[in-house]
Copies of this chain bind each other. A is one copy, B any other.
Amino acid sequence: MTTPPPGLRERKKQATREALREAALRLAVEHGPDQVRVEDIAEAAGVSPRTYNNYFASREQAIVSAVSADREARIAAAVAARPAGVRLADAIAEAVVEQYTNTGEHEHEALLLITTRTALRDAFLDTTAGIEAPLTAVIAERIGDVGAHAARVLAASVAAAVRIALEGWLQPTGNAEAAGGFGTGGLVVPSGSLPDRLRAALAPLTPAFDAAEQRTQP
Chain A residues in contact with chain B, CB under 8 A? 76, 132-137, 140, 145-157, 159-161, 163-164, 179-182, 184-189, 200-208, 210-212
Contact = CB atoms under 8 A, between A and B. Distances in A.
A137 B181 contact: yes
A157 B207 contact: no
B152 A163 contact: no
A136 B164 CA distance: 12
Contacts of A135: 180
9 contacts: A136-B179, A137-B181, A145-B186, A149-B201, A153-B161, A153-B204, A155-B180, A156-B160, A156-B163
Given A134-B180, A160-B153, A180-B136, A212 B204 contact: yes
A155 B179 CA distance: 11
Given A145-B185, A188-B148, A207 B210 contact: yes
Nearest to A165: B153
A144 B134 CA distance: 34
Which of A146, A187, A207 has the largest count of B CB atoms less than 10 A from its CB?
A: A207
Nearest to A152: B164
A159 B160 CA distance: 9
A96 to B, nearest CB: 13
A98 B159 CA distance: 26
B204 A154 contact: yes
Contacts of A186: 145
Given A156-B157, A159-B160, A207-B210, A180 B132 contact: yes
